[in-house]
Structure formats: structure tokens, C-alpha cells
Amino acid sequence: MANFTLEMLMTAAVRRPLVAGNWKMNGLKASIGEIEAIARACDDSISARVDLLICPPATLVALAADSVGTSQLAIGGQDCHVKASGAHTGDVSAEMLADAGATMVIVGHSERRADHNESDAIVRAKAEAAWRSGLTAIVCVGESEAQRKAGEHLDVVGGQVTASIPDGATPTNLVVAYEPIWAIGTGLVPTPEDVAEVHSLVRAVLVERFGEAGQAMRILYGGSVKPDNAAALLGAANVDGALVGGASLKATDFLAIARACP
């Protein structure tokens, strides 16, 4: 029991929360003021305990990275190609995102898996591409509503974590985001107990594969996180931050979620 308590204290100290905003296909140059407002707020007490990241559309990554300057707000991409360059019209590589000033990239978001037929193997290759360019990969996993109703959520998420994360993951180059598909953009949220159940499973899979390093890897929750439910969701066991969609488009809402980190 004493060991267990010590371990929990140590891991709590190691895992600094990350609150990340995924702007999806939203945002024009005129929206950069929201990112600047978040960057300014980063200079206060928030940045002392929480890492903040905004992933704008690819068209705004360079502008956003320039705008945040030396503040503590990081800028990321929402997807990357598996290759660094080549004949892939319309795609963006991890190398290009890094060149534009990004330090992280989301891979395997359920909208990419659904809209672009991305398999676990492709997501894994994208995470490797991210690492080759020095980016941290935020690997997304999550079950559908039908899978949840059938009681398959743990099997589905465990399988995705195993198959989507490459060998060589570390607490620095990998973040996992659990985003139940049925909670994205719907206003439906799992209970903190339901979130803790899945995050504990993800933690166990990471520790089994990566040993002690798995204890230090961050696992974010995403899906209808708002200022009024953030404290409860972020307080659940093994939740190390949030991946926020709609509520990240407004600096005030995003910052309220960041401040709700325990």
C-alpha cells in the first residue's frame, strides 16, 4: 500500500497536464487574435502548471507560431502525411509543420479515420513521420456509439492503442488522446467514472509495453469538454489534460478549461 501511494505521488508529479485545442476546419487569419489572447494569458499562473497547445488549420500554423512568439503557448498541426515530401497533392508533411513552427501534431483523429479511411497502421506511420521531424505525436483513439453500447469500448480502445502507437514511444514524443466518437461535438459526455475506466486501460496498455515510461505518458480526454464540465473530467484518474474542439475556438472558454486543471 505504501509503495502504491508513493508511485501515485511520483506519477502525479511527472505528468504535467496538457490542454490542447483542435480547431478542426475552422479559423481564418482574422481568428489569430484568439490565439494571441491565449498566448498572453500563458504568461500568468496557467503556464506554471499546465502546458497549452492550439492546433489551428494548416493554413494558420506559420502565422500562429509567429504570433505566439516566445510565449508558452505551443502550436501544432492536425494531421501529417506519412512522407516528408513528394507527389501528394493537398497533403501536409510533418517536416512542413515543423518548418512552420509546430512542435506537435494530432494523428488518427476519428474524423480523419472516418473521412480519409485511416487505419491504425496509417496512424502509426504518421506518428513515426511526426517523430522523424521532431514533433510530438498526439495519437487519438476512441470507440463509436455502437461499440460503446455493445460493451466493446475497452477492447476497441486497447486495440487502437496497441496498433496505432509505434515502438519507441516516450513521454516526450507521445501523447494519447481518448476521444469517444459519440461525445465529439454532441454535448454528450461520459461520466468521470467512465472516462477513468478507459484511461486506466490505456495506462495499463502503455505500462505493459513501455514499462515505467508508460506511467509518465500523458493521456488526454476529448469530447464535448466545456468550461462547466472540465473540472470533473480533468479530475478523473489518469486524465492528464484535454483535447478540446469547439470550446477551443474562444480564448476565454479555452483558458477556463485550462484553469480547471486540478
Ligand X SMILES: O=C(CO)COP(=O)(O)O
List the binding residues for substrate.
22-24, 185, 224, 245-246
Residue type, 147: Q
Annotated catalytic residue within 81, 109, 153, 199: 109
Q: Which CB atom, from 78 or from 215, has the smaller least distance to ligand X?
A: 78
Q: Could you tell me which stretch among 156-164, 205-213, 216-224, 253-261 binds ligand X (CB under 6 A)? A: 216-224
Q: Residue from 192, 222, 227, 241 that binds ligand X (CB under 6 A)?
A: 222
User: Cα(56)–Cα(35) distance, rounded to whole angstroms?
Assistant: 9
Contact 246, 223 (CB under 8 A): no
Supply the minimum distance, in Å, between the C-beta of residue 185 and ligand X.
4
User: Rule CB under 6 A: which of 21-60 touch ligand X?
Assistant: 22
Specify whether 179 is catalytic.
yes
**Is 79 near ligand X (CB under 6 A)?**
no
Torsion angle of alpha carbons 139, 87, 98, 54, nearest 10°?
-50
User: Cα(58)–Cα(78) distance, rounded to whole angstroms?
Assistant: 7
**Is 219 near ligand X (CB under 6 A)?**
no
Annotated catalytic residue within 95, 111, 143, 179: 179
**Is 244 near ligand X (CB under 6 A)?**
yes
Beta strands (DSSP E) in the chain are 18-22, 51-55, 73-77, 104-107, 136-141, 174-178, 218-222, 241-244
Specify whether 193 is catalytic.
no
Supply the minimum distance, in Å, between the C-beta of residue 108 and ligand X.
11
CB atoms within 10 A of CB 45: 10
Q: Residue from 224, 227, 239, 255 that binds ligand X (CB under 6 A)?
A: 224
Cell, residue 206 = 502503455
Q: Residue from 46, 245, 251, 257 that binds ligand X (CB under 6 A)?
A: 245
Cell, residue 36 = 494571441
Helices (H), the chain: 2-14, 32-41, 46-49, 61-68, 94-100, 110-115, 120-132, 145-149, 153-164, 192-210, 212-216, 230-234, 251-259
Q: Name the residue with the smallest CB distance to ligand X.
A: 245
Q: Could you tell me which stretch among 66-74, 89-97, 195-203, 245-253 binds ligand X (CB under 6 A)? A: 245-253
Residues annotated catalytic, as ranges: 109, 179
Residues near ligand X, by CB under 6 A = 22, 109, 179, 184-185, 222-225, 243-247
